[in-house]
Amino acid sequence: MMKLSNIHKTYGNGALQIAVLKDINLTIEPGEFVAIMGPSGSGKSTLMNIIGFLDYPSSGNYELNGEMISSFKEKQLAQLRNQHIGFVFQQFFLLPRIPAVKNVETPLIYAGVSKRERRQKAQQMLEKVGLEDRIKHLPNQLSGGQKQRVAIARALVNDPSVIMADEPTGALDSKTSEQIMELFVQLNEEGKTVILVTHEEEVAAHAKRVITIRDGMITDDRRQDA
């Protein structure tokens, strides 16, 4: 369970200080499928980064599975990230000069997994996302949807309990978006917690819960039939 209490995030200081998140209170249970929506600049990515331990709140508490993580140091946070969370971004962030399978392997290098096991796991994940015939392709030899599948395989390779995706379909056409969303639905059905940011109603329609954020505050939080 991820529990954020009274989370604030401000940037800058003095007269130039801006409050980007204002008193966010939010609990996400294991197995949820959450979409975060809201206008540009409302604080969605900032909130995602805090939920995913990529950034610290300015104040407030964050409890993960009963443990208070506000006091954690950067190294511990990095460990939590590697263990619990897989990230997917709009721009894919694949390493351009190495083949798909090596891109998927990279998180395992940091986790200290042997070369042979890395390759095996990466191949399995590429199969899972339907790319078993693109293992040796370089990122620029793949379509946008295929690149995002590689990024999703990479996010899955450490077997995280939570997949976080910031506008994962933002760079894709609507048909490809739909295919990528079906993959997220499948992962959620398999038990992964999915948290994603999107501008698109069609994308959010796949989630079981939609949170709206405006001007740094949660203004709506509703469950829906996916």
Ligand X SMILES: Nc1ncnc2c1ncn2[C@@H]1O[C@H](COP(=O)(O)OP(=O)(O)OP(=O)(O)O)[C@@H](O)[C@H]1O
The residues that touch ligand X, with contacts defined as CB under 6 A, are 11, 20, 38, 40-46
- Shortest Å, Cβ 167 to Mg ion: 7
Q: Is the CB of 20 or the CB of 125 nearer to ligand X?
A: 20
The C-alpha atoms of residue 39 and residue 214 are separated, in whole angstroms, by: 7
Cβ–Cβ under 8 Å, residues 147 and 139? yes
- Shortest Å, Cβ 65 to Mg ion: 26
- 36: Cα separation from own chain's centroid: 11
Q: Is the CB of 45 or the CB of 146 nearer to Mg ion?
A: 45
- Shortest Å, Cβ 20 to ligand X: 4
Query: Which residues, at least 6 apart from 169, have a Cβ–Cβ distance to it below 8 Å?
Result: 148, 176, 177, 180, 181, 198, 200, 203
Q: Is the CB of 11 or the CB of 93 nearer to ligand X?
A: 11
- Shortest Å, Cβ 45 to Mg ion: 3
x/- map, 30-69, Mg ion, by CB under 5 A: ---------------x------------------------
- Shortest Å, Cβ 151 to Mg ion: 16
The C-alpha atoms of residue 219 and residue 91 are separated, in whole angstroms, by: 28
Q: Is the CB of 123 or the CB of 148 nearer to Mg ion?
A: 148
Q: CA geometry: angle at 117 spanning 113 and 121, to 5°?
A: 105
The C-alpha atoms of residue 144 and residue 83 are separated, in whole angstroms, by: 27
Indicate which of Mg ion, ligand X, none lies near residue 20 (CB less than 5 to 8 Å, by partner kind). Answer: ligand X
Residue 177 within binding range of Mg ion, rule CB under 5 A: no
Helix ranges restricted to H, 157-204: 174-189, 201-204
Cβ–Cβ under 8 Å, residues 128 and 155? no
Q: Is the CB of 20 or the CB of 101 nearer to Mg ion?
A: 20
List contacts with Mg ion (CB under 5 A): 45
